[in-house]
Amino acid sequence: MVNRTPVRPAAGGKKVPAKTPKPHESAARSAARITAAPTRAKLLSGGNPQIAKADGDAPVQAYIAAMPGWKRDVGRRIDALIERTVPGVHKAVKWNSPFYGIEGQGWFLSCHCFTNYVKVTFFRGTLLRPVPPGASKHKEVRYLDIHEDDAIDQEQFAAWVTQASQLPGERM
């Protein structure tokens, strides 16, 4: 009897069996099983989710859903505060970080996961009152680091978001 298992060339010229459908699978279902992309986001250093660069709410929500542990709740609260404070805010994921801005005016804020905290970046932070506490090497940038047990002062955060959204944003 001749073996009729399909083969494909592998590295080094060896022939290996190609992936074939299981007897109980249709060809379409088998193709989906073989080519389906993983549904979980890869976590980079510090637990920062790797999400493809894209505009809109969906990639930001995917980023937040992929944030590990307690950071996911922080991400949800930050996102909700920004949406309530700036209705119609423009969102995107760039460089594995959610960005928030005003359409046509640029970005005013982003956030990023690190091992022990979530960093909120105000691109024109030195112009906010009071100035957010985290200093930066960049002249106008200021940070707010949120650790696991930190309470977010929602009133102050909303005031910063309001002020930041009214300033000329960063073009990236």
Instruction: Give mean pLDDT, residues 115-125.
Output: 97
State both tokens at 166. Answer: 């009214």
Which parts of the chain fold into alpha helices (H)? 27-35, 57-66, 70-85, 154-165
| pLDDT > 90? residue 22 | no
| pLDDT > 60? residue 78 | yes
3 state SS of 82: helix
**Residue 15 pLDDT:** 54
Instruction: Give mean pLDDT, residues 68-88.
Output: 97
C-alpha–C-alpha distance, residues 57 and 74, integer Å: 17
Nearest to 113 by CA among 31, 24, 46, 33: 46
Q: Kindly list the domain boundaries of the chain, sorted by start residue.
A: 42-165
Select the more confidently predicted residue: 25 or 164.
164
Burial code (b: 16+ CB inside 10 Å, e: under 16) for 137-148 equals eeeebbbbebee
The answer to whether the pTM exceeds 0.85 is: no
Instruction: Give mean pLDDT, residues 9-28.
Output: 49
Lowest model confidence (mean pLDDT) among 47-51, 83-87, 120-124:
47-51
Q: How confident is the model at residue 40 (pLDDT cuts 50, 70, 90)?
A: low
**Residue 37 pLDDT:** 35
C-alpha–C-alpha distance, residues 50 and 66, integer Å: 9
Q: What is the pLDDT of residues 41-55, one digit of tens each?
A: 787 777 788 888 999
Instruction: Give mean pLDDT, residues 61-79.
Output: 96
**Residue 94 pLDDT:** 95
C-alpha–C-alpha distance, residues 24 and 157, integer Å: 55
Q: How confident is the model at residue 12 (pLDDT cuts 50, 70, 90)?
A: low
Class for domain 42-165, per CATH? alpha beta
**Residue 27 pLDDT:** 46
Q: Are strands 42-43 and 15-17 parallel, antiparallel or unpaired?
A: unpaired
